[in-house]
Amino acid sequence: MNQETWSNKRVLVTGGAGFLGTHVVTKLKKHGARNIFIPRSKEYDFRDVETTREMLAKFHPDLVIHLAARVGGIGANRAHPAEFFYDNLMMSIPLFHESWKAGVEKFVAIGTVCAYPKFTPVPFKEDDLWNGYPEETNAPYGLAKKMLLVQSQAYRQQYGFNSIFLLPVNLYGPGDNFDPDSSHVIPALIRKCLEAKQRGDKEIVVWGDGSATREFLYVGDCAEAIVLAAERYDKSDPVNIGSAFEISIRDLIELIANKTGFRGKIVWDTTKPNGQPRRRLDTSRAEKEFGFRASTTFDEGLTKTIEWYRKQIKL
C-alpha cells in the first residue's frame, strides 16, 4: 500500500487509544491513512460477540489491526492467570472470525514473545515457537494470544483469508503504563527509582536475582513495524518484531538508577520469580519480508521514556 492506497482504506485499530495503539495510529496517519476508527472499550466489549458484530457493521473496515489485549507484568499474570487467558482469548478469536465473515480484506494479529517456549534457543527463531511450553508465570496469556496464529493459518488454508501474525518483544516508551500493580519491568523500575530518590530511601527492592535477560523494543519502532507489515506482508508465517538487543535485569536496573539519579542500594528479592531465563529474538524475517529494522537505540529510548514520565509527575 502506498500513501494513496492508505488514504482509501478504512482501518479499524482495536486498542488504538492505548500505549502501542496511539503510536500505531500516529504512524498510520504519516503513511497516509485518513479513515481510522478507534473503538473504545467502554463502548465495545470485545469479549461479547454481538457487540463485535455491531462494531464491524458500523465501521465497515477494510483492514483490522488488533492491538487490544489484557496485559501486565509477572505480578499481574501470577495474580490473574484465568482472566488473562479468558479475556485475551475472547477479545481475539471471535473478532477474527467475525472480521472474516464481514468481508474484511486483511487482519493484523498481534501476538506476544510470551508465546515462546520457556527454554527456547537464543536468539528465538519463529520456527521454534511450538517446541515446548511457555514460561509458567505468563503461559495463560501467551497461549491465548498464540491461538490467533493457529486461527490465522487455518482461515488462510480453508477460506483464503489474508491475515498476519506478529510477535513483538517487550515494549517500552513514552505513554507506557506506570501503575505498580500492572506495569512491565522498565516503567516499574523507573517509577521505583524516582520515588525512592524523592523520598530519600537508602535502597530499593527488585524481584528475582537480576540474571534474567530481556530484549526491549521502543514503542515507536514497533508501531512502524506493524504498519509496514500491514502494507507489505501477506503470509500467515509468524514474524518476530524486535531490536535484537539483549540486556540483563541487573544491568537494566543499574542503567535506570544512573539515569534517574538514584544512588541507593539495590536489594534482590530472590523469593520472587525471574520469569523466562533469556529473551532475544532473531529479527531477520521482518527485515527480509517487509524491510523493518529497529532504529531507536536503547539508551535513546530509555532517556525519552524517563523524561516523559518525569513530566507526568512534574519532577
Question: Catalytic residues, which ones?
Answer: 141
The two beta strands, 213-218 and 170-172, are: parallel
CA-closest candidate to residue 171, choices 93, 111, 131: 111
Give me the sheet containing 63-66, strands edge to edge.
35-37, 10-14, 63-66, 106-110, 163-168, 239-241
Write the CB contacts of 7 (distance below 8 Å, at least 6 apart in sequence).
32, 33, 34
CA-closest candidate to residue 242, choices 184, 296, 202: 296
What CA–CA distance (Å, rounded) separates 266 from 287? 38
What CA–CA distance (Å, rounded) separates 62 from 10? 5
Instruction: Kindly report the backbone phi and psi dihedral angles of residue 272, in degrees, each rounded to the nearest multiple of 5, phi listed first.
Output: -95, 150
3-state secondary structure of 58: helix
Phi-psi region of 24 (alpha: psi -120 to 50; beta: other; left: phi over 0): alpha
Residue whose entry in the numeric block shows the C-alpha cell 530518590: 197
The Cα-based distances of 268 to 113, 248, 265 in angstroms read 25, 14, 10
